[in-house]
Amino acid sequence: MASRRICDLILALVMAATLAAVLSMAFRSAYMAHPDEKDHVGAGQYYMQYWDPPQVGDERARAAYSNYGVSYLDQLDAVYFLAGKFACLAKPFVGQDYLALRLFNVTLLAGLMVLAWRLPPRLRICFLPLFISAQPWYVFSYFNADAFPLALSLVAAVLLARSFDCRASRDAAADGQETSPSRSGGARPVRVRLGGTFWLGLTLGLLTISKQNYYVFLVYFACQWLIQAWLDAGGPGRAALIRRAGLAFALASAIFLVRYGAHVLIDMRQPPDAVAKVAEQLASDEFKPSKQADGKGFWGMNMRAHGVTFIQMFTGEWKWHVFTFRSSFGKYGVMDIEPPLIFYRYIGWMFEAFLAVMLAALALNGPAGRMSAWLLVLFAALTVLQSVWHSWTADFQAQGRYLFPILAMMACVLPLCRKTPGFYRQALWIVGMGMWGMSLWSFVAVGLARIPR
């Protein structure tokens, strides 16, 4: 009992310190001191005034257009609508539009903290990936479109863990007419409970209309659910879990189709080349489509067409892997503020140790654990590959935020480690808290200390 209270106290202090650092960054850093914040804020400001999605080039949304001549409002992302309406309520308390929009992302992080605290101690390990790097905290500290899908994916991981929790799932792990023994020796139907299925479907549905780099996580999530349903549950429990997943994915699909249908209706009311025409008109000179077609535009656009090979992406002046790694564990401002290089060396070693312990723990967890480990490695590699491919064929964006789906993938499998010997669980928490300490130093002593105000 005493050790449990100590652990709860440590967790409370960790969450409070993290949230305090993020709040400080949100309210002390200058407007536009962060990557593309002006463009994200412009998109959020649109929905602070309007309810209907704009057409391409809509004069009402002119503030949302970037140097590329495109707007985030032309994509499927639901975050701008939700954040805009939230900001309308928050603005009287903070005064500025950008602060009200930043508060939306801070509130998401606070909600994750509350959810972590309310989980049974055996499931809190789901949130350990959130504390091993300062980069997710940084994304929650200013307004952007990356914090929302990261929060959703972690919630999805929690819903997965709760569905397969040993004590809960054996009762009536799913929705549907599963039977269980009655006192008379017969069988009675288990009451249908659709609440968990609804929240799972809503979470996955909102992910489908968020950042597209999370689509790989959605496929991973479906595979992970099926693996655990097939190997971790048995008999009627397995069938019920699969039925629940089917209902949740049906709801998610319906949410996507409604949003995509609205997007198609807007496209039908404008010329097919509207995006290119508006980009030609509004983009900065080096980003205009005509300049790109002539090979005179920004060097980072469509590097493959400019003769850069895939191997060269990792050598010479590009070094995609170096920039991506550093921006996965602590780069601030417009990617120009970073801790000493020795910081990346040590936190890299700790991350390797964390992965090694996690994979070893999964390997000791029977067939479900071993298959989950292989699935994690496969989809993590696909996440990295899609990020490299985007940088090579579209726009050079060597940023760790594109790899955040891996954090949620880790959150999906970490609860399985609770069935392994205590050494592995303790090692995961020890290494994870060590990474948290280094990350907090980086965020406060480097990020907060040097960010423009």
Q: Is the pLDDT of residue 32 over 60?
A: yes
Question: What DSSP letter does each residue of 416-429 carry, written as one string?
Answer: GGGGS-HHHHHHHH
Q: How far apart (Å, rounded) are the C-alpha atoms in residues 84 and 73?
A: 12
Q: What is the mean pLDDT of residues 125-135?
A: 96
Most confident of 146-160, 220-234, 413-427: 146-160
Position with higher pLDDT, 56 vs 228: 56
Bridge partners (DSSP) of residue 65 are 71
Exposure string of 364-401, with b = 16+ CB inside 10 Å and e = fewer, is ebeebbebbbebbeebbebbbebbbeebbeeebbbbbb
DSSP secondary structure letter of residue 179: E
Q: What percent of the chain has pLDDT over 90?
A: 66
Q: What is the mean pLDDT of residues 423-445?
A: 94
Q: Which of 188-202, 233-247, 336-350 has the lowest mean pLDDT?
A: 188-202
Q: What is the mean pLDDT of residues 70-92?
A: 95
DSSP secondary structure letter of residue 117: H
SS (H, E, C) 104-154: HHHHHHHHHHHHHHHCCHHHHHHHHHHHCCCHHHHHHCCCCCCHHHHHHHH
Q: Which residues contact 390 (CB under 8 A, 6 or more apart)?
A: 213, 397, 402
pLDDT score, position 199: 92
pLDDT score, position 235: 58
Q: What percent of the chain has pLDDT over 70?
A: 92
State pLDDT tens for residues 204-243: 999 999 999 999 999 999 999 888 887 766 555 677 778 8
Q: Is the pLDDT of residue 432 over 60?
A: yes
Q: Which of 116-120, 247-251, 258-262, 265-269 has the lowest mean pLDDT?
A: 265-269
pLDDT score, position 452: 95
Q: At 360, is the secondary structure helix, strand, or coil?
A: helix
Q: Which residues contact 367 (CB under 8 A, 6 or more apart)?
A: 231
Most confident of 82-91, 238-247, 413-422: 82-91
Q: Is the pLDDT of residue 172 over 70?
A: no
SS (H, E, C) 205-263: HHHHCCCHHHHHHHHHHHHHHHHHHHHCCCHHHHHHHHHHHHHHHHHHHHHHHHHHHHH
Position with higher pLDDT, 439 vs 294: 439
pLDDT score, position 375: 96
* Band (287; pLDDT cuts 50, 70, 90): confident
Q: Is the pLDDT of residue 175 over 60?
A: no
pLDDT score, position 410: 97
Position with higher pLDDT, 286 vs 24: 24
Position with higher pLDDT, 352 vs 167: 352
Bridge partners (DSSP) of residue 332 are 337
Both tokens assigned to 148 = 């929302």
Query: Domain limits of the chain?
Result: 2-176+193-450
Q: What is the mean pLDDT of residues 348-359?
A: 96
Q: How far apart (Å, rounded) are the C-alpha atoms in residues 189 and 122?
A: 29
Q: Is the pLDDT of residue 448 over 80?
A: yes
pLDDT score, position 195: 73
Q: How far apart (Å, rounded) are the C-alpha atoms in residues 385 and 378?
A: 11
Q: How far apart (Å, rounded) are the C-alpha atoms in residues 93 and 87?
A: 10
pLDDT score, position 185: 40
pLDDT score, position 179: 38
State pLDDT tens for residues 34-55: 999 999 999 999 999 999 999 9
Q: Are the C-beta atoms of residues 446 and 330 closer than 8 Å to each other?
A: yes
Q: What is the mean pLDDT of residues 64-70?
A: 91
Sign of CA dihedral 337, 341, 343, 344: positive
Separation in Å, CA 343 to CA 78, 340, 417, 442: 36, 6, 28, 8
Q: How far apart (Å, rounded) are the C-alpha atoms in residues 96 and 85?
A: 14
Q: Are the C-beta atoms of residues 281 and 288 closer than 8 Å to each other?
A: no
